[in-house]
Amino acid sequence: MKRNSKQNGSGRGLITALDVGSTKIACFIARMAASGEPEIVGIGHQLAAGMRSGNIVDLEAVESSIRTAVEAAEQMAGENVKDVAACISGASPSSKLISFDVSIAGHEIGDADLRPALDPAWLKTRVEEDQQIIHTIPVAFSIDGNRGVRDPRGMFAEKLGVNMVVMSAASGPLRNLETAVSRCHLAVADHVIASYASGLACLVDDETDLGATCIDMGGGTTTVSVFFDGEIVHAESIPVGGGHVTNDIARGLSTPVAFAERMKTLYGSCVASPSDDTESISVPLVGEDENEAAHVPRSMLVGIIRPRVEEILELVRERLETTGFDKVAGRRVVLTGGASQLTGIRELAAEMLDKNVRIGRPTGFKGLAEATNGPAFSAAAGLIKFIINSQSETAHAALRAMEVPTSRFGRFGMWIRENM
């Protein structure tokens, strides 16, 4: 279907989010409600075909799933959209802390002194060749070695230091995502790292300020983001998720994958309970008729699920420890994503990561029905928040004109948008 570009929803204050996940594709269309809260006016979701571990492996299948999800959201919203903010959970996201020194030689620091730190050509030299820069977030300034400077502009110094978190993702998967989206006559207006989006949707301000980790356990990936001082400081994506748990059950019990999935959600758990040995579940066997079902104790199911979930959490723990972000992240973990609904996972994560764990779901949205405000929709909802946050920085422009001090990095964030 050729879209009518005159009816571009994005031009009417609408924001469209597209989360292309390993097991489902979700499209949310939002508009700002009079209350100031974003209101979701269109929702479409569709089983994802052609995805593996957060990356596109069959372009045509993904294109068709995207089209179905977006059209359902458009129909509900009664609007046609032209561009989307998109994320995929794979694409090997990488984050780096980069520092840049600028010689000031005693003059007053101005915008022109900050510009070299954000020069795309220079930044490109600091990431791997096959990576594309997605987010550049200034996290700290120093002048003449004194750290903790809020906004260096207008100050005098010999040397200015800028510390930035630069987040990138593999160019190949990003281009494939753009291609799949453009084949649906849509454009990707913004790329967002999936784990960043999930964190934005689920974490409350106190968590992002004091330090917290958001773990989004999806179908084919587990993405991790660490927030501190109000901003994301680290992102990871591990190519294992709830789909691997399902496959383990299917293999372990010789049952069809669809039944394994059903067993997991209905009876599965990653913590043992005293009744597990006495409860028995009937399991149809692959290739045999239904009367030939085997009967297995629930403890056997728990025995298959737990080691895989332990493996995933162990990988997360290891990554956080090796990168050193374990300390920055403090003791708070918010677990989200479809697989966070597995019974007992909160307790297991708390034990293995030695942190306080809560289950996170999108908060602060109007119009999200029961079926779509669950943890599986965190990334889609977070994409909307990302766009709202970046738009609200234009409000800082008005405040700045009136010389009202704004938040620490809000002014600098806006400066980036104006000057890049």
Ligand X SMILES: Nc1ncnc2c1ncn2[C@@H]1O[C@H](COP(=O)(O)OP(=O)(O)OP(=O)(O)O)[C@@H](O)[C@H]1O
Contacts to Mg ion by CB under 5 A? 21, 89, 218, 379
Stretch that binds ligand X, among 61-69, 147-155, 212-220, 360-368 (CB under 6 A): 212-220
Stretch that binds ligand X, among 4-12, 76-84, 123-131, 214-222 (CB under 6 A): 214-222
Q: How far is CA 90 from CA 4, 119, 194, 211, 303, in A?
A: 31, 27, 8, 24, 28
Question: Between vectors from CA 243 to CA 324 and to CA 202, what angle results, nearest 5°?
Answer: 50
Q: Determine if 242 is a binding residue for ligand X (CB under 6 A).
A: yes
Q: Which residues pair with 51 in a beta bridge?
A: 56
| Residue 243 site contact among Mg ion, ligand X, none (CB < 5 to 8 Å, cut-off depends on kind) | ligand X
| Number of Cβ atoms within 10 Å of the Cβ of 156 | 12
**Contact of 165 with 233, CB cutoff 8 Å:** yes
Q: Give whichever of 8 and 247 is closer to Mg ion, judged by the CB atom.
A: 247
Q: For residues 28-57, which are near ligand X according to CB under 6 A? A: 48, 54
| Residue 246 site contact among ligand X, Mg ion, none (CB < 5 to 8 Å, cut-off depends on kind) | ligand X
Residue number of the CB closest to Mg ion reads 218
Q: Angle of helix 171-182 relative to helix 59-77, nearest 10 degrees?
A: 50
Q: Determine if 80 is a binding residue for ligand X (CB under 6 A).
A: no
CB of 24 to Mg ion, least distance (A): 8
Among 302, 342, 381, 383, binds ligand X (CB under 6 A): 342
Stretch that binds ligand X, among 22-30, 79-87, 117-125, 303-311 (CB under 6 A): 22-30
Among 138, 243, 362, 413, binds ligand X (CB under 6 A): 243
Q: Determine if 264 is a binding residue for ligand X (CB under 6 A).
A: yes
Pattern 146-185, ligand X, x by CB under 6 A: ----------------------------------------
What would the DSSP string read from start to end of 72-96? HHHHHHT-B--EEEEEES-S--EEE
| Number of Cβ atoms within 10 Å of the Cβ of 265 | 14
Q: Which residues pair with 358 in a beta bridge?
A: 334
Q: Give whichever of 54 and 410 is closer to ligand X, judged by the CB atom.
A: 54
CB of 379 to Mg ion, least distance (A): 5
Interior/surface letters 163-181, b for 16+ CB within 10 angstroms, e for the rest: bbbbbbbbeebbebbeebb
Residue 4: which residues within 8 A CB-CB, separation 6 or more? 80
Amino acid at 415: W
Pattern 216-235, ligand X, x by CB under 6 A: --xxxx--------------
Q: Total residues at the site for ligand X (CB under 6 A)?
A: 24
Q: How far is CA 356 from CA 148, 211, 348, 351, in A?
A: 29, 12, 11, 9
Pattern 83-112, ligand X, x by CB under 6 A: ------x-----------------------
| Residue 242 site contact among Mg ion, ligand X, none (CB < 5 to 8 Å, cut-off depends on kind) | ligand X
Stretch that binds ligand X, among 18-26, 35-43, 70-78, 395-403 (CB under 6 A): 18-26
**Contact of 309 with 270, CB cutoff 8 Å:** yes
Q: Give whichever of 365 and 415 is closer to ligand X, judged by the CB atom.
A: 365
CB of 380 to ligand X, least distance (A): 9
Q: How far is CA 70 from CA 109, 192, 302, 327, in A?
A: 47, 18, 37, 40
| Number of Cβ atoms within 10 Å of the Cβ of 12 | 10
Helix, coil or strand: residue 66 = helix
Instruction: List residues binding ligand X (CB under 6 A).
Output: 21-24, 48, 54, 89, 218-221, 241-243, 246, 261, 264-265, 337-339, 341-342, 376
